[in-house]
Amino acid sequence: MHTLLTNLSDLWRVTVAALLFGAGLPVVFAFGIRFRGRVEDGATGTARQTALALSVACFAVVMIAVVVGVLFIARTFLATRLGIHLLGA
C-alpha cells in the first residue's frame, strides 16, 4: 500500500511535465504561428510590430525548450566525453 501511495503522490509531477512539454509547447508554437499570420496587414501592407514581437517570443520559447531538452538528454555524454558539465551532470 505504501508503494501505491508513493507512486500516486509522484503522479502529479509526471502529469504536470506531460502537460507542459507534451501539450504546452505545441500550444505556444501554435500561438506563434497565429501571431505571425497577423504581422502583415493585407490592405496596407504595413507590419504590426506587436504581433511580430509576440511571434518571435513564442518561437524563442519553443527553441529554448528544445535546446535545453537536447542538452538535458546529452548531459552525461557531454560530462564524460567532453568535460562540459551542464544541468547538474
CB 86 within 8 A of CB 78: yes
CB 52 within 8 A of CB 86: no
CA dihedral sign, ordered 84, 87, 88, 89:
negative
Region for 31 from its dihedrals, namely left if φ exceeds 0, alpha if ψ lies in -120 to 50, beta otherwise:
alpha
What whole-number distance in Å separates Cα of residue 43 and Cα of residue 46?
Answer: 8
> According to the model, what pLDDT value does residue 88 have?
75
pTM (2 decimals)? 0.72
pLDDT tens-digit series, residues 7-62? 777 888 888 888 877 889 999 999 999 999 887 776 766 678 888 899 999 999 99
